[in-house]
Structure 1
Amino acid sequence: MKVVLFCGGMGMRLRDYSETIPKPMVCVGHRPILWNVMKYYAHFGHTEFILCLGYRADSIKNYFLNYTECLSNDFTLTNGGKDLHLYHNDISDWTITFADTGITTNIGQRLRAVQKYLGDDEVFLANYSDGLTDFHLPTMIDFFTESQKTACFMSVRPNQSFHIVNVAESGLVNSITGLERSDIWVNGGYFILRRNIFDYIKDGDELVNEPFRRLIDKKELLTYRYDGFWMSMDTFKDKQHLDDLYAKGTTPWEVWSTVGA
């Protein structure tokens, strides 16, 4: 299945990094978070990517045009550095389509813009480019396939440090609970979509707003709840946390490797 990745946002809450590069190019370890998301899909056999580009599209294009396999693979140099032998490679079997979908375009319209690159595929995958997980993707694909519904996404526990307050009209607090310990689930991305999703997306629609409401009305929208590792790099604090995990060698999202990259 082809994988559509939304890479066009400006990453305003990561301005220390994304003023010069787009958020998908902010690194976790020595590779951009976008690469980590793509490597995850490739691990499960999905190596045809469509990148919906926008802000600083040139940065993403140039990264792959000048890709260096040596950064994440063992290699041997001989002949005074003139000859190089790679023991593994990352992207030799990847097909990547780079599609400029506008600077301020929303997710729903970015998806519509790349419909022509999906070919005749009846089902395809889509995702944000800033969320990492260790989830076994084929499990959700099987769940979706058996349902015959139009769309599915992953629901996850929120990882922010906010507290939910239950309060009486008088202002007296009845309870206060950490958001991560509540019964709240949030949209974690990792969409699986049938081709008829485009029948539900109108001009100007954001994907998870109007189209998903239409799907709900038709009972065509599923979610798969997962309470394992999932994290989105949305803020500077998120970036620091992922960097700390990487520095400790605790990288659950690296499902393609039993050791750190």
Structure 2
Amino acid sequence: MKAIILAGGRGKRLRPITDYVPKPLVPIKNTPIIEWQLKYLKKYGVSEVIICTGYKQEMIEDYLKIKNLGIKIKFSIEKTPLGTGGAIKKAGKLIKDKSFFVINGDTITNIDLKKLSKKQNSIASIELKTKFGVLEISEDKITKFKEKKEISDVWMNAGIYHLERDILKDLPKKGDIEKTVFPDYAKKGKLNIEKFKNVKWYSVDSFKDMEECSLEIDKIIK
């Protein structure tokens, strides 16, 4: 299997770190996000990765050149931001396989890719977790205070996809797959979901995310 990593964003919420290094090189427990992702993909049998880059792409290339991670790496460089759909369409030209994985460049997880690969054009989903404490109430009284919890049977996009190569022709040259092709495919009944319960999942988008992920990373990617 091959995979595309969407790693071209500027990571503005992680400033000032991302003023100096691209988001994929932001360290989680002294190892860059992109390295954790490559180890994760390799674990599930991915042999080749196309990394979509833009902002400070030469720093990502230089870092990975000196690493030997046992996985073939190619780059799809965006001179101007193409959105997730445009990025996948451009990178997809380097893939001849019938299907491939896509993962957002800030996602750290232990979602089982082999399970995801069993469905065509599928989105990995996890149960939505609140970011805030949840109150249980009876009339006007609080009966229990709970910290972050999963909201049962409300599913969110985990930012990991298994896509058939045929989808490339429908992708925009510029624009997000989540706002163009996915809604269209969903209407036509051509989009599948694979639900994952009790998995580790982080979207590293803030300093708090970095801190929380660093405490769990050794359990997530072994």
Q: Distance in 2 between matches of 1:201 and 1:163?
A: 39
Q: Distance in 2 between matches of 1:102 and 1:3?
A: 21
In structure 2, the residue matched to 1:136 is 112
Q: State the TM-score, normalizing by the size of structure 1.
A: 0.74
SS at match of 1:108: helix
Q: Alpha-carbon deviation of 1:187?
A: 0.8
Q: Distance in 2 between matches of 1:36 and 1:109?
A: 25
Gaps of 5+ in 2: none
Pick the structure with greater CA Rg: 1
Distance 1:229 1:244, change over 3 A: closer
Question: Does the CA-based 8 Å contact 2:134-2:149 persist in structure 1?
Answer: no
Residue 182 in structure 1 maps to residue 134 in structure 2: no
In structure 2, the residue matched to 1:52 is 52
SS at match of 2:172: coil
Q: Alpha-carbon deviation of 1:139?
A: 1.7
Q: Alpha-carbon deviation of 1:122?
A: 0.9
In structure 1, the residue matched to 2:64 is 64
Q: Whose strand proportion is higher, 1 or 2?
A: 2
SS at match of 1:208: coil
Residue 115 in structure 1 maps to residue 92 in structure 2: yes
Q: Alpha-carbon deviation of 1:59?
A: 1.0
Q: State the TM-score, normalizing by the size of structure 2.
A: 0.87
Count of residues in correspondence between the two structures: 216
Residue 241 in structure 1 maps to residue 212 in structure 2: yes
In structure 2, the residue matched to 1:105 is 82
Residues 79-98 of structure 1 mapped to structure 2, 5 A cutoff = 91-92=69-70, 94-98=71-75
Please provide the CA RMSD for this pair. Answer: 2.6
Question: Does the CA-based 8 Å contact 1:200-1:214 persist in structure 2?
Answer: no
Q: Alpha-carbon deviation of 1:154?
A: 0.9
Residue 252 in structure 1 maps to residue 222 in structure 2: no
Residue 199 of structure 1, aligned match among 164, 169, 190:
169
Q: Deviations over 1:167-217 (max 9, x none)?
A: xxxxx9xxx987733243211122100011123223433111110011112
Gaps of 5+ in 1: 68-89, 166-171
Q: Alpha-carbon deviation of 1:252?
A: 2.2
Q: Distance in 2 between matches of 1:160 and 1:122?
A: 37
**Matching residue's letter, 2:216:** L
Q: Deviations over 1:145-166 (max 9, x none)?
A: xxxx4x111111344523689x
Residue 157 in structure 1 maps to residue 134 in structure 2: no
